[in-house]
Structure 1
Amino acid sequence: MNAIITSFSNSLSKPWRWLTAAMLSRRVELRLAVRVTVATLLTYALSLLLHVPQVLWTVLTAVVMSQLSLGKSLKTTVDYFIGTLGGAVYSGLIAAFTPHDAELEFMTVLAVSIGPLAFLAAVKPQFSAAPFTAVMVLLAPTITHVPPLESAFFRVIEVALGGAVALFVSFFVLPSRAHHLGIEAAANMLRLMAGALRRLLAGCAEPLDVATVGKIQGDIGPAMSRLEIIADEARRERVAYFSSEPDLKPLLRLLLRVRHDLVIIGRAAVAPLPDGFRARLAPSIARIAESAARFLEESGDALLRRPAPSLVEFEAALNAYEAEIAALRQEGLTRSLPIEALERLFGLAFALEQLHQDLKELARWSADFAQAQARR
């Protein structure tokens, strides 16, 4: 009997452990789901209490304004409100002072309202809500039977209410900070770079074509773009919170330099080293690849409150590589190399030295970041 109970308990514990692990891995998304739900319910209740004419648009605004992080919610709310205000004022004035009782007149007013606002939204993305608002202002009176200016006024009120509730919920209900998301994105970026570095430097011993090099570096570009967006959101949060958290912009610039190092390394490693050089340089290059990749991975861990890594192993491997290059030059072996092979060889040496300088800068930034976090 005990064996049956134990077996049944084990069969239930496995799905539970899987569910718990899945929830922990998606905790940011779960927080967003809770915030959207709370913002929806709270906005709906306030709309009924304040007798807002179009409860639908107030609730939809709150849903749209509830974003993954506070910084993104701030940006979305400000941009959406500016676009709504501009679209409402412009289209409301045109509709109020231009006759549009006939269908042709109404179509003319609609075109005059939407055209310039659509052009403005294309030039200034923060006005992307303006054309949508103009449609609402011009067509809503056909449903609610209110004057255009009154329709524009209520549209602004609806957006203001929905945005205010969304920001309130973002601040106080399971807040998710863009700074923390940025640190996680930077740690992920460092892990991607570590993997790319290992594979690129392996090309010094085995052939790598241009398509393969592009594929190796393919994930870094989108990850960098995402990190740039999050860093901008984190800057807005620092202003909103009057926070002393470290600015992510210096880290972003540093990671961009490391990415450029990988591009140069990829160009140098697109073809294997010459036969006579490969056997002598391959061991030190392999050590450089592994030690640098490990440093990048451990630097990512350090951003997440782990001990800061050391550059000693990488610097020892780099010194061994440079000593071997010097020995090859002293023996006169570089004189017989074709120009293209010689350019790749010294291009790789330059890229590794530049990587060394950037990794030292990353080590200094990590130490300063750890001290700032400890003070906070």
Structure 2
Amino acid sequence: MRALLKRLALMVWSRKVELGLGVRVTVAAMSALATATALGLKLPLWAVLTSIIVTQMSVGRSLKATRDYLVGTIGGAIYGGAVAILIPHSGEGALLAVLVLAVAPLAFIAAINPSLNVATVTAIIVLLLPLMNHGTPLESAIDRVLEVTVGAVIGLLVSFLVLPSRAHSQIRASAANALDLIAAALGELLAALTRGRDNDALHKLQDGIGAALVNLNGLGAEAERERAAHLSNGPDTGPLLRTVLRLRHDLVIIGRATVVPLPSELQKRLAGPLARVSEAMAAYLRARAVALRGGAGAPAIWPLQVALQAYAGEVAALRRAGLTRGLPGDVAERFFALGFSLEQMRLNLKDLERCVSEWADAAPVVKGEKPEAPEPSEN
């Protein structure tokens, strides 16, 4: 039982961001209902729904959701109220015509700017609700704006005060996840040069990397919104995001260079050096991921430098022995492109070292560090 409880606690703790969101949404809904009831709003439902909508995973996302929802609501209420007041619609046909006039322009605007989707809904509510409660369009518009404002303010306050989660801190975990996936994909791609590809595994990894980068870019925009509002003061997100994206591009080039295995003679000579390069790069990427998650320094890059230098030396030996002269044109092109892409990835990993050091607020670990190996020669 104790082991089961421990596993459950670890599972819950691993989802602490999601758990925090659940707590914030619950508190926001309860607070919005209590506030709307205390203020005597006609439809507390809209205040509760709005508070849930604007309470997002991070403060930066909550800021954007609140801004978009308020702007869309106010715009839709003004336009819908104006149409309902200025155009008589006592009959069913007139009501349908007014409904078209209210919905069509706002739907067109929302298609251009999806953040204003709520404007169309608000205009419909302002137009049709008076038919149910026998009020006026002006009263309906004012009530709608008040209800949404109460919900938005409550949701935003809860996002700030109850277990607040900053996008700036979430970037650490998201970038670390992307680096782990890149490390796994790199190992699969380089292993394909000697044993063939596992396309199913590679497709799964590539899909995971794509989803991780989409999430990372979204968090980056939210983090910059927080920085602009002076809600966080961490390092600039741009360099880290650009470096991870460049590593993904390096992975794509390596993927093109490893479409088919190397010729058997080259496999015999390069299997060992390539395996060491793969192990060193993957280990370095995973170590940097751990450093990002834990906020501590990471190991130095010299083991990777040594592995790449050994690979470059073996390639040079193959060329001196003339083993690359008889290669078909497409095979030779992929073979030398591999060397270029590995060198490019090394340079981007050096940039990653600097970025992670900034985010970890600590220099890379240098205990037992050897002098940096000479730069690998171009293949």
> TM-score, normalised on structure 2?
0.92
Deviations 1:284-335 (CA, angstroms, capped at 9, x unpaired) = 1111111101111111111122331211111111001111111111112211
8 Å Cα contact 1:91-1:137 kept in structure 2: yes
8 Å Cα contact 2:297-2:362 kept in structure 1: no
Q: Which residue of 1 aligns with 2:376?
A: none
Q: Which residue of 2 aligns with 1:141?
A: 130
SS of the aligned residue for 1:310 comes to coil
User: Cα distance, 1:116 vs. partner?
Assistant: 1.0
Q: Which range is displaced more, 265-274 or 215-224?
A: 215-224
Residue 318 in structure 1 maps to residue 308 in structure 2: yes
User: Cα distance, 1:89 vs. partner?
Assistant: 0.9
User: Cα distance, 1:72 vs. partner?
Assistant: 1.0
> How far apart are the structure 2 equivalents of 1:94 and 1:83?
16
Taking every aligned residue pair, what percent have the same amino acid on both sides? 46
Q: Quick one: which of 285, 296, 301 aligns to 2:274? A: 285
Q: Which residue of 1 aligns with 2:23?
A: 34
Q: Which range is displaced more, 205-214 or 92-101?
A: 205-214
Letter of the aligned partner of 1:30 in structure 2? Answer: L
Q: Which residue of 1 aligns with 2:332?
A: 342
Deviations 1:78-131 (CA, angstroms, capped at 9, x unpaired) = 111111111111111011100111011001111111111111111101111111
Residue 362 in structure 1 maps to residue 352 in structure 2: yes
> How far apart are the structure 2 equivalents of 1:213 and 1:36?
38
Residue 177 in structure 1 maps to residue 154 in structure 2: no
How much is the aligned-residue C-alpha RMSD, in angstroms? 1.6
Q: Which residue of 2 aligns with 1:207?
A: 196
Q: Which residue of 2 aligns with 1:160?
A: 149
Equivalent residues in 2 for 1:1-376, closer than 5 Å: 12-208=1-197, 213-304=202-293, 305-371=295-361
User: Cα distance, 1:147 vs. partner?
Assistant: 1.1
User: Cα distance, 1:242 vs. partner?
Assistant: 4.4
Q: Which residue of 2 aligns with 1:8?
A: none
Deviations 1:226-253 (CA, angstroms, capped at 9, x unpaired) = 1111111111112233432112121111
8 Å Cα contact 1:44-1:58 kept in structure 2: yes
User: Cα distance, 1:369 vs. partner?
Assistant: 2.6
> How far apart are the structure 1 equivalents of 2:192 and 2:181?
17
Q: Which residue of 2 aligns with 1:4?
A: none
Letter of the aligned partner of 2:315 in structure 1? Answer: I
Taking a change above 3 Å as real, the CA distance of residues 66 and 372 of structure 1, as seen in their structure-2 partners, is: farther
> How far apart are the structure 2 equivalents of 1:43 and 1:241?
26
Letter of the aligned partner of 2:105 in structure 1? Answer: P
Gaps of 5+ in 1: 1-11
> How far apart are the structure 2 equivalents of 1:286 and 1:168?
53
User: Cα distance, 1:359 vs. partner?
Assistant: 0.4
Letter of the aligned partner of 1:49 in structure 2? Answer: A
User: Cα distance, 1:44 vs. partner?
Assistant: 1.0
User: Cα distance, 1:211 vs. partner?
Assistant: 6.5
8 Å Cα contact 1:213-1:270 kept in structure 2: no
> TM-score, normalised on structure 1?
0.93
> How far apart are the structure 1 equivalents of 2:354 and 2:8?
40
Letter of the aligned partner of 2:305 in structure 1? Answer: E
Taking a change above 3 Å as real, the CA distance of residues 24 and 214 of structure 1, as seen in their structure-2 partners, is: closer
Aligned residues: 362
8 Å Cα contact 1:287-1:317 kept in structure 2: yes
Deviations 1:222-277 (CA, angstroms, capped at 9, x unpaired) = 11001111111111112233432112121111100000000000111110011111
8 Å Cα contact 1:200-1:216 kept in structure 2: no
